[in-house]
Structure 1
Amino acid sequence: MAKIKKGDLVQVISGAKPERGGDRGKQGKVLDILVEQNRVVVEGVNYVTKHTRVGQTQRGTKTGGLETVEAPIHISNVALVDPSTKKPTKVGHRVEEQTKDGVKRTVRVRYAKKSGKDL
């Protein structure tokens, strides 16, 4: 079971500090997960400038130029944020039994472990 999923609130826990132009300490929502490369795309983190080739659309308008987009970062450099304390925390799993339409099922559920100090 994945520890970080799309839509989770995560915090960057490694890299350069914001004073040096880095993203450490920033929080954002996970936009995409690249499973094969063990990377995540986080909203508002790791902006890069992308050069796009100039072209023409059907209407004749010009496209292209410079655009800033979020680049993926390694999944080990982010930590899930505990919703109650708004601090980074570790993720645990517990087995629960759910009843749906009279049928009992055992399901693994993610939960945020108690967050003490900042990771």
Structure 2
Amino acid sequence: MAAKIKKGDLVQVITGAKADRGGDRGKQGKVLEVIEGQRVIVEGVNFVKKHTRVGQSQRGTKTGGIETVEAPIHISNVALVDPSTKKPTRVGFRVEEQVKDGVKKTVRVRYAKQSGKDI
């Protein structure tokens, strides 16, 4: 089965608390990484604080402290954004034939289904 959400896609968070209550629902961002097909890291969404131990690098500079990084979110909690309407939409697959060097090949192509209203 082809993946519905891939690295570089624009997605919107569809579950969780609204932004006015400190959550991420409704935020849109680009997918930075897909982890084992189940979780995605979205740019600007689901920030957590990561505490790193103080150490020294090769040049003698001190490292460590508190960093703010994006944490993974489950793939079912995001929806692909339709490029034409900028609203979340469902993903469909279309079977097309490509001809390359005289050889026909059947491929599955992703496309955004029509988004009539918000999901």
Structure 2 spans left out of the alignment, 5+ residues: none
1:35: Cα distance to partner?
Answer: 1.7
Which residue is 2:66 aligned to? 66
Give CA-to-partner distance per residue, 1:90-116, whole Å, 9 cap, x none. 000010000111111110000000001
* Aligned residue type for 1:16: A
- For residues 18 and 58 of structure 1, what CA distance do their matches in structure 2 show? 42
1:49-99 Cα distance to aligned partner (Å, 9 max, x none): 000000001111100001000000011100000000000000000100001
Runs of 4+ in 1 over 2 A off after TM superposition: none
Aligned to 2:14: 13
C-alpha displacement of 1:7: 0.6
- Following superposition, the deviation at residue 118 of structure 1 comes to 0.3
Provide the rounded CA distance (Å) in 1 between the counterparts of 2:19 and 2:64: 30
| Aligned-residue identity in percent | 82
Matches within 5 A, 1:1-119: 1-35=2-36, 38-119=38-119
- RMSD over equivalenced CA pairs, Å: 0.7
Q: How many equivalent pairs are there?
A: 118
Normalising by structure 1, we get a TM-score of 0.97
Aligned-partner SS, 1:60:
coil
**AA in 1 matched with 2:113:** K
